[in-house]
Amino acid sequence: MIKFEEAKKIVLESAKPIGKEKVFLEDAFRRILAEDIIANYSIPPFDNSAMDGFAIKSEDTNKDLPVKLRIVGEESAGEIFRKKIDKGQTLRIFTGALLPAGTDSVIPQEEVEIEKEFIVIRRKVRKGENVRYAGEDIKEGEIVLEKGIQLNSTHIGLLSALGIVEIEVYIKPKVGILATGEELKDLNEPLLQGSIRNSNTYTLIAQIKSAGAIPLNYGKTGDNPNEIKNIIEENLNNCDIFLTTGGVSVGKYDYVREAVESIGAERKFWKVAQKPGMPLAFYVLKRENKLKYIFGLPGNPGAVMITFEEYVRPLIYLLSGRKNYLPQEIEAKFTHDLKKKKGRLNFIRVKIFFENGEYYISESGPQGSGFLKTLANANGIALIPEDVEYIKAGTKVKVHIVEW
Ligand code: AMP
Ligand code: MG
């Protein structure tokens, strides 16, 4: 049986971004940037006032206080006062307004007294007080955003301040989903005795969306190799990744491998020394000169969600051009003992918390592969290596932070 690290390497080894496209700024939120963004001008573009107040020459306050300065006019944000301010003069100014020529500082209006056409200043003002200098935030020519990041709302604000309306982003991968199993009932079907709800399709749709890809739901089939084959065959051209769930183990009704192999896909591995998710199968196939990735995910909901996080999400990230494609990893101390069998890496669903400068974890509930509640209570996956049998409370282990 192949080990987790090796299997993951095989999944990720050939993955490259699938392509680029241009989108408008309004549609760029959460997309992956496919170009470095260089500031085409400085921000702020000009020296301006940080307050509502009076623009002055600071040296006018370098004498016996109080001083009186003559108000020669007014300039609001967006206006330009074209005359130079001389010694003994001041210009009333508002936040964001261009600092007028001849001045070097702004005194807030609350700090002066107005006497007809004069202001009275009772303190010394430093050069540069309440001035926002050109380029203080961003300098023209500076690389402000690097390709491979996911654009959040701060990035959108920055792009708009730079006047960039069209942005090059990576194309979102499309991920097909097919649930298999005679016992599965969809949400609109009556739940008969012996049947269960098809939950895998819905968790996968959500995980695919959370990974920034496009889910394509091809519904469910019974345990029927022809049906499985036909659905994959018909839809593969439209997908970058195809996920099946269930039917990939060694049972009499497990037909997924047979179906995937019959369309000519190359098996890269089947069965990984891990728990949950041991029966995981992975294939690649070329269609119209494009590489297609097919995962035979297990059927158990816990195994599906965890193998998605550990294998499928990083693959989606690489196909999407993300610079950071691996799960965020921390080291954390178990708050309790843990026993496991040797031979397989265990993914333990855990709750992570932070105390006195350290991360701690505890199991989020019973770890059965099928349990959904334990998943819902977890915000991390602890990785307990193959050869470990016993973990004592206080032992540090690797943990992946999950964003289900
Ligand atoms: P299998 O690998 O097909 O033997 O499935 C393993 C377990 O996962 C069985 O208990 C199935 O009933 C369950 N299972 C399979 N597919 C789904 C699904 N789409 N949603 C929820 N549970 C499933
Ligand atoms: Mg089955």
Number of Cβ within a 10 Å radius of residue 267 = 14
Q: Which residue CA neighbors atom 15 of ligand 1 most closely?
A: 299
- The 10s digit of each residue's pLDDT in 31-44 is 999 999 999 999 99
Q: Is ligand 1 within 6 A of the CB of residue 296?
A: no
- The 10s digit of each residue's pLDDT in 18-31 is 999 999 999 999 99
Q: Is ligand 1 within 6 A of the CB of residue 179?
A: yes
Could you tell me if 179 and 257 lie in one domain?
Answer: yes
| φ, ψ at 72 (rounded to 5°) | -100, 0
Closest CA to 310 of 326, 294, 324, 295: 326
Could you tell me if 141 and 162 lie in one domain?
Answer: yes
Q: Which residue in this structure is represented by tokens 């955003």?
A: 145
For residue 343, the enclosing domain spans 329-401
Amino acid at 72: V
Domain at 290, CATH number: 3.40.980.10
Mean pLDDT across 352-371:
96
Amino acid at 49: S
The pTM assigned to this predicted structure is 0.93
Mean pLDDT across 209-229:
98
Q: Which residue CA neighbors atom 5 of ligand 1 most closely?
A: 299
Contact 280, 272 (CB under 8 A): yes
Which residues contact residue 203 at a Cβ distance below 8 angstroms, ignoring those fewer than 6 apart? 301, 304, 305
* Ligand 2: centre distance to CA 257 (Å): 12
Which residues contact residue 111 at a Cβ distance below 8 angstroms, ignoring those fewer than 6 apart? 53, 121, 122, 123
- Could you tell me if residue 324 is inside a domain? no
Q: Is ligand 1 within 6 A of the CB of residue 245?
A: yes
Could you tell me if 89 and 34 lie in one domain?
Answer: no
Could you tell me if 282 and 315 lie in one domain?
Answer: yes
Could you tell me if 258 and 374 lie in one domain?
Answer: no
Mean pLDDT across 149-169:
97
Contact 302, 368 (CB under 8 A): yes
* Ligand 1: centre distance to CA 391 (Å): 30
Would you give the DSSP letter of residue 85?
P
Could you tell me if 242 and 379 lie in one domain?
Answer: no
Q: Does position 274 have pLDDT exceeding 90, yes or no?
A: yes
β-pair partners for 266: 284
Q: What ligand 1 atom has the least distance to the C-alpha of 251? A: 4
Looking at every residue in the chain, the average pLDDT score rounds to 97
Could you tell me if 299 and 369 lie in one domain?
Answer: no
